[in-house]
Amino acid sequence: MNAADSFKTCPCCGFTWASRKEFLDDPTLDLNGYQVSFKNLEEGMFLFTHNIEPCRSTMTIMMGEFRDLYAGEMYEENKTDSDECPAYCLHKGQLSRCAVRCECAFAREVLHIVKERLNEAKAFHQFPTPPT
């Protein structure tokens, strides 16, 4: 498959995911960070690790690639640095949802949706240990 026709190619091992669905259904991926872009929230970067031997590479995908997964409420006011802001967006390893009614909240929700999809893929691919 041509990398230009695919959703993502691992920069280390060259593995290619043909579609976003295939990417989110891959149990070898971990979402381990989010780097916000306050200038344009859709340009924030999700950080994924491809957990196969010997790869273990980290790759980025813009949040905008997953934007359509969220259909909830959008807020216009940015409340970063306000008293009510927990500053989750300022810590790339912080993957929690944010309850503040802030313009950044939708990005946190998209992050949560992606994290849940990857967790579901891992759960689906785990097989019970046979009894001994």
In this structure, is residue 9 part of a structural domain? Answer: yes
- Residue 31 contacts residue 48 (beta carbons within 8 Å): yes
In this structure, is residue 67 part of a structural domain? Answer: yes
**Domain housing 40:** 3-124
Could you list the beta-strand ranges (E) of 1-132.
8-9, 16-17, 29-35, 45-50, 57-62
In this structure, is residue 130 part of a structural domain? Answer: no
**For the segment 52-106, what is each residue's pLDDT rounded down to a tens digit?**
999 999 999 999 999 999 999 999 999 999 999 999 999 999 999 999 999 999 9
Query: How many structural domains comprise the chain?
Result: 1
**Would the pLDDT of 129 be above 90?**
no
The mean pLDDT value for 15-26 works out to 96
* pTM, rounded to two decimals: 0.87
In this structure, is residue 132 part of a structural domain? Answer: no
**Range in 1-5, 14-18, 21-25 with the lowest mean pLDDT:** 1-5
Q: Which pLDDT score is estimated for 5?
A: 81
